[in-house]
Amino acid sequence: MTSDTIRRAQRGFTLIELMVVVAIIGVLASIAIPSFERLTIKSKAAERPELILRLKKAVDDLYLQNGSIPGGLLVADFQPALPLSSGRRTPNWRTPGWSDLLKTGEEILGATYYSYQVTAWEQDGSTPPGFELRVLGDLDGDGVPSDIVIDFERVGGIYRQTFPTPTALTDALNNSPY
């Protein structure tokens, strides 16, 4: 090797080359970060329908076993317990009410992003038995806690959603095999 070649190899990268690399990394990050945030919101939202279906099935099983939904008006209070946080929290499904709904071995495993509450309607025989499922948390990913209330009424031997008007999510709930 000549001394000119050795000197050129020892110089390293030019300022322009480094700026081009930083610009490329910046462009890639500006594409990746919003996509990652959208995926995070979608993964949080995927929890809701699954747990709503599980809780709907649990209430239905309890009704089929007992002929009513025990526990008075408030069947099972918020789990995980309030106050809310932006992260995942581990619920205690062994608390009163929840232990009636979710029998041993049927508990929902793992931490959840949202808190859940089940309230039964008065079952005086004049109206079909029903229950209200309330989900509380950052439902739309804007950082502000909000809630959704879904009412179910026993019609034709199964629980069907009566409020709010069925949407794509609630159509899936009504057409589930549970």
How does 9-22 read in b/e, with b if 16+ C-beta sit within 10 Å? Answer: eeeeeeeeeeeeee
Q: Distance (Å, rounded) from C-alpha 40 to C-alpha 44? A: 6
State residue 160's pLDDT score: 83
- Please give the pLDDT value at position 10: 64
> What is the average per-residue pLDDT within 31-49?
83
Residue range of the domain that includes 74: 48-174
CA distances from 172 to 53, 67, 121 (A): 9, 25, 23
Query: Is there a contact between 123 and 145 (Cβ–Cβ < 8 Å)?
Result: no
Instruction: Report the alpha-carbon distance of residue 70 to residue 100 in Å, rounded.
Output: 8
Residue 82 lies in a domain: yes
More confident call, 112 vs 25 = 25
Would you state the pLDDT for residue 142? 75
Domain presence at residue 87: yes
Higher pLDDT, 52 or 19: 19
Higher-pLDDT residue of 114 and 170 is 114
pLDDT, residue 96, reads 83
Which of 2-11, 83-92, 161-170 holds the top average pLDDT? Answer: 83-92
Number of folded domains that form the chain: 1
Q: Is the pLDDT of residue 93 over 80?
A: yes
Residue 9 lies in a domain: no
Query: What rounded mean pLDDT belongs to the chain?
Result: 78
How does residue 81 score in pLDDT terms, banded at 50, 70 and 90? confident
Mean pLDDT across the stretch 120-124? Answer: 70
Separation between Cα atoms, residue 85 and residue 54, nearest integer Å? 23
Residue 34 lies in a domain: no
Q: What's residue 19's pLDDT? A: 95
**Is the residue at 53 inside a domain?**
yes
Q: What is the pLDDT of residue 130?
A: 84
Question: Could you tell me if residue 7 is inside a domain?
Answer: no
- Dihedral sign computed on CA atoms, order 85, 145, 176, 40: negative
Q: How confident is the model at residue 29 (pLDDT cuts 50, 70, 90)?
A: very high
